[in-house]
């Protein structure tokens, strides 16, 4: 949708300095109404979590109907009404372990960090990542940029959860063991009394069933059109007879360009992993998953991804990320977080395509990732993909202006670009070692007409020719609906 202004009628040009001021409100209102109506008609997003049966048909395949969840972990999702307009949907999630866990997390690098980010980081630091019992999450209000009162509210949420546990099994009173997360509108205080009164109900509702895990995943949703929940089982080399489980949930559809280390994620496993091993495992996985997705290029104030491990399935503790078990876990968790994070891209606001850009034969992982990120964030690339336009020049342009690359990272004469169909058919070569190919426009249109697409960039090893590193980024296109927020941002600036 283009942000065109309708011609004004009357004596608009008689007194420009006066008419400009008088017409601002009507212009802004017109833009807002048309943008909002278009977004509602085309996407019909609801701020509260989706009600049963309201998940769009195209997204229902991503909602699991069953799951295998880690031993000793329980979940619940209940309705509180954090936003007054939410009268029925779950908006408070509680995830808890029957026994103390090891914990690790990565957080947003946005300078305006929300109160729950500060409190959760403090909990992990003070406990050195050990003895964590629960994660409490509310949607509907981000508790961000809320000053000391916001910090007090986040602290109260954690302490109220802890008061529900049997202290004979937990840490001594006063030692915080609960991570706190919030998502929603920035700059507003939580209805904290309402939330604190509801926490015991969330605790009483804790269960290990798939239904309750799914309710928890629904409770953390904001503009999401479907709850994002995954689970899987795995084994480790040192304990081949033990079946471990890994579960995770996340939320997000807009303000997505995480720089961890409005997106939340939680991972849970019953494998025995101490905190000192968890943190490097999580950092490695996040760098290749949640830090490798982009919807709109915005980094939220609340981005948090946490991983808890309670060891309830038994087996030998994994004391090093460099051990055989540690290396196996890195692959398992990275693959899992990639799959989970990709659900966020598939639910991107206004998205019609799910795109993977893969950069291969780079001089370093850093170079490959920087180039992939630049392509994924390019508005020109995104709009071309939405328009089914095989304009590979936009991809090449993004490669060429990527900042922060090592010397000789990009050699034009060695660079190749292709579209790779997801049906397994032959790649469509666009550029081969710096030379343009004759592109079959009809086939290009067919490939770009599909929902899923891969862009392959081969750097040919860089200047030295020996580069073998690769990196991937996952992103979506920019459609008419995607431009609504840009129009609204323009309106806000216009009014000031």
Let me know how many helices (H) and strands (E) the chain has, helices first. 12, 15
CB atoms within 10 A of CB 61: 10
Q: What is the phi/psi pair of residue 267, to 5°?
A: -120, 145
320 within 8 A of 272, measured Cβ to Cβ: no
| Beta-bridge partner residues of 247 | 231, 268
**Is residue 38 annotated as part of the catalytic site, yes or no?**
no
253 within 8 A of 39, measured Cβ to Cβ: no
CA proximity to 95, closest of 132, 136, 62, 123: 136
Please give the structure tokens belonging to residue 177: 């063991």
239 within 8 A of 171, measured Cβ to Cβ: no
How far lies 270's CA from each of 81, 100, 266, in Å? 32, 11, 14
Helix (H) or strand (E) segment spanning residue 131: strand 130-141
CA proximity to 222, closest of 46, 431, 483: 46
CA proximity to 447, closest of 435, 459, 456, 458: 456
Residue 184, by phi and psi: left (phi above 0), alpha (psi -120 to 50) or beta?
left
372 within 8 A of 470, measured Cβ to Cβ: no
Choose the catalytic residue: 177, 262, 334, 374.
262
> Judging by DSSP bridges, how do beta strands 239-251 and 228-236 pair with one another?
antiparallel
Residues known to be catalytic = 262
């Amino acid at each position: 949708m283009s942000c065109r202004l309708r011609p004004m009628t009357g004596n608009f040009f008689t007194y420009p300095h006066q008419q400009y001021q008088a017409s601002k409100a009507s212009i802004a209102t017109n833009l807002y109404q048309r943008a909002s109506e278009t977004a509602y008609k085309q996407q019909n997003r609801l701020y509260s979590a989706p009600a049963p049966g309201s998940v769009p048909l195209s997204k229902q395949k991503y909602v699991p109907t069953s799951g295998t969840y880690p031993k000793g972990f329980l979940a619940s999702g209940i309705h509180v009404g954090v936003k007054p307009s939410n009268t029925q949907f779950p908006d408070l999630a509680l995830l808890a372990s029957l026994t103390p866990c090891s914990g690790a997390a990565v957080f947003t690098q946005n300078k305006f960090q929300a109160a729950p980010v500060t409190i959760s980081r403090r909990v992990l630091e003070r406990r050195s990542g050990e003895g964590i019992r629960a994660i409490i999450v509310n949607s509907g209000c981000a508790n961000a940029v809320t000053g000391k009162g916001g910090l007090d509210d986040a602290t109260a949420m954690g302490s109220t959860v802890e008061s529900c546990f049997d202290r004979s099994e937990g840490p001594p009173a006063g030692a915080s063991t609960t991570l706190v997360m919030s998502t929603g509108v920035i700059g507003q205080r939580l209805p904290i009394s309402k939330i604190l009164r509801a926490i015991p109900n969330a605790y009483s509702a804790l269960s290990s069933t798939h239904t309750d895990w799914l309710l928890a995943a629904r409770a953390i949703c904001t503009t999401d059109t479907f709850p994002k929940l995954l689970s899987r089982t795995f084994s480790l080399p040192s304990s081949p007879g033990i079946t471990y489980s890994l579960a995770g949930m996340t939320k997000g559809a807009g303000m997505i360009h995480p720089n961890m280390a409005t997106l939340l994620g939680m991972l849970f496993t019953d494998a025995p992993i101490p905190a000192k091993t968890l943190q490097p495992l999580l950092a490695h996985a996040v760098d290749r998953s949640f830090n490798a997705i982009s919807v709109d290029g915005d980094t939220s104030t609340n981005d948090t991804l946490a991983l808890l491990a309670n060891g309830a399935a038994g087996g030998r503790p994994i004391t090093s990320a460099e051990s055989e078990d540690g290396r196996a876990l890195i692959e398992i968790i990275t693959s899992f977080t990639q799959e989970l994070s990709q659900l966020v891209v598939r639910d991107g606001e206004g998205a019609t395509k799910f795109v993977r850009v893969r950069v291969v034969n780079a001089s370093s992982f850093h170079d490959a990732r920087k180039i992939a990120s630049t392509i994924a964030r390019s508005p020109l690339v995104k709009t071309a993909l939405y328009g089914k336009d095989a304009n590979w020049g936009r991809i090449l342009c993004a490669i060429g202006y990527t900042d922060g690359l090592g010397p000789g990272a990009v050699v034009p004469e060695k660079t190749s670009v292709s579209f790779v169909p997801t049906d397994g058919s032959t790649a469509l070569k666009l550029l081969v070692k710096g030379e343009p190919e004759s592109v079959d426009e009809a086939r290009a249109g067919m490939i770009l007409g599909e929902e899923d697409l891969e862009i392959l960039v081969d750097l040919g090893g860089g200047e030295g020719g020996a580069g073998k590193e690769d990196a991937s980024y996952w992103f979506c296109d920019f459609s008419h609906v995607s431009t609504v927020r840009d129009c609204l941002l323009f309106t806000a600036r216009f009014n000031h």
